[in-house]
Structure 1
Amino acid sequence: MPTDTSAEATVFKRRESKARSYCRSFDTIFTRAQGSELTDAEGKTYIDFLSGCSSLNYGHNDTDMKVALIEHITSDGLAHGLDLHTDAKAEFLETFERHILKPRGMDHKVMFTGPTGANAVEAALKLARKATGRNNIIAFTNGFHGVTMGALATTGNAYHREGAGTTLNGVTRMPYDGFFPGDHDSADFLEAMLNDSSSGIDAPAAILLETVQGEGGLNAASPEWVKRVAALAREHGALLIIDDIQAGCGRTGGFFSFEDMGITPDIVTLAKSVSGFGLPMALMLVRPEYDLFGPAEHNGTFRGNTHAFVTARVAIEKFWSDDTFRKQTDAKARILTSALAEVAALVPGARLKGRGMMQGVDFQSGDLAADICSRAFDRGLIIETSGSEDQVVKVLAPLTTPGETFRRGLTILLDATWDAMETKKMAAE
């Protein structure tokens, strides 16, 4: 039932830190979530095209995961176990091995890091340096890997880097695929720099990249570019780290974003939707020859979320035991591409970006993109921006969104864009 939320709204402004972010764009109090929709305290329902920034690829409160979690809790299953052996962890590992790793020919060991994606990246950087005895990490323009100090050093975004309050070292920045205008291949530049002993680049411990840069503006690397970078890493004795925290778990097609590219990363970082239910959980997958950390050398009190093991197992069994879910996601991605082409056609210079169910429109203007998202929210759609100037409107709908709901959300985005452009034209007259 609708309630008076004035007191609740006041407490956020009075007591919560100014670091709060998403709530500034979506200024209401949410009280319920199911599938691809959120409901606020006034009873208004919103279609969710944000999905916890891709932490809810399977939607809110999936029934099967919820039942399994409730059963675990009510039967006094462990709520917290450090890295003890537990039945929930064993069942998750066996399921992950059977349905994810073995079908893809991956023999990687699974390390449970602290519960955030940034902590998985921290572990990956530390391990690469330990394995190679080198310090330098090659990362790319517009990459986003987290805001803890090591991960932040590899992150390109100036706003977040300024938050460090100190120097960020140990990283060499290289141009991502498509960074140069025209037909210039940035892999050629990387190769030349690595091959020239006077380029000033120290021999790298690792090359770190996202195959689709989520926060960087949905820049999608081509398979050919990724394969060249992988080959250069191998040639120069560096580990290849793929950050699949946002682009993985089905967001770009396969469970991993790279699995159709003909590469095998040395290290893969996963978080966000790996728990399936929005519970904090992060993994580092590492090839056995680089599984070099000693006991608790990279630790954390919450390394391995027992409740997340339960829901993650159900998610994998439900969505990844065969190729049905991927085929459904691929079909939905084609609908998304077509709908976004209509949106982009309304704005001169706008263009589509991204891949799979991680696509959006670059409007070339952060102000316009923000206006479109605001108008969409007023109409009942939650959608956000990304990119160096927040100029890209990014669709991160749950992969399980029903077709009718998905199309309705895309129609809202189209109408919001049309309305924003009409208002802009009227203001110019």
Structure 2
Amino acid sequence: MNSAALHAVRGEILHFLADPASHGEAAIEHFADGLLLIRDGHVAEVGPAAELLARLPADVPVTDYRGKLIMPGFVDTHIHYAQTDIIASHGEQLLAWLEKYTFPAEARFADPEHAQAVAEFFCDELLRNGTTTALAFATVHASSVDALFEAALKRRMRMISGKVMMDRHCPDFLRDTAESGYAESKALIERWHGRDRLQYAVTPRFAATSTPEQMTLAGRLYAEHPGLYLQSHVAENQGEVAWVAELYPEARSYLDVYDRFGQLGERSVYAHCIWLDDTDRQRMADTGTAISFCPTSNLFLGSGLFDLDRAREMGLRVGIGTDVGAGTSFSMLQTLNEAYKVLQLKSQKLSAASAFHLATLGGAHSLYLDDRIGNFLPGKEADFVVLAPAATPLLARRMQAAQTLDERLFVLMMLGDDRTVAATHVLGKPAWQRPG
């Protein structure tokens, strides 16, 4: 074994080869005492520590995380970096939330220094919570995208983002035009898309805040550039659904609005997707369009309950999103906690294995990144999170009674939060470590 640029990480290792909801135990690879070998930021090999250590050259450094659980870095498929400062704002549903909190907060991003300060905090907060990949909304200001990509680039994170396109039904101070939104987005694509681990997402906020002219140009951008993403919101709130129906009476449904403008397809991701019918779901499945399930914000804004079982039955790609700032935590553990409760209210069950799959390989699959991230197969980018099962007195006590891996994972997602994250590594190197 060539030891050049090689290092190893030891601990309990868990990752997924497929979705446990459909593949059962065969989807799970678990090493109670495992070794992850990393070369040049990518996974070289993973397996039992005893077996791999026996043939590891003596000069290869080994980081020892025994007693902790190593998993692939979390993938957040929907989050608003510009809403960091309005998290936990009281008392509104979606449309009133936008007017009262979101638009005033996003206006501040006209100041590049403010954008930079929030972007730096945002990226650090993601890493502190074990999230290494995110699909994030910026604001209508091109400089807000520059700030986020600069912050992510410094940390070598995998970040997907884009300038919000919004030319109606919003304050004048946040309004672009169909033409300026297209031109500014195109310039940002040329500046950032494909640079290091950064990718661009065409970002119409939602169908109500873009004219047909802007929606046409957003669809054109998405088609013009290979590998580009598109992100938006659909069918989050019943009032929003009714409003979009008034604005686009020719469309069969809210989702059909996006379809008519060429905005469904691979690497197109829609947050929420609560108030869809099976015709919509089938169209998403047929086009490879993905859903971001955002449980904490759906509960916080009183929007409704996502139907995960139906999405799975129809073969949809589904990831999970914190949706900060309507979402109430950057923690993927807390987000999985809320996902479990949402599905309980739908009389559905979410196993711990399926939940952590959603947060890792499932999220990567929904973003068409599962060839690069999401598990520890050789050649993948070595992003991972280190979880401390005894991070709090309650966790430590509860873990003593846990009999199985699935039970321990369930305890982690129900009782864990940012305190549970001991370290986060990006491309094999420590990007955040808990002090002490």
Q: Same fold (TM over 0.5)?
A: no
- Higher percent of residues as strand: 2
Q: Which has the higher contact order (CA 8 A, sep 6+)?
A: 1
TM-score, with structure 1 as normaliser? 0.28
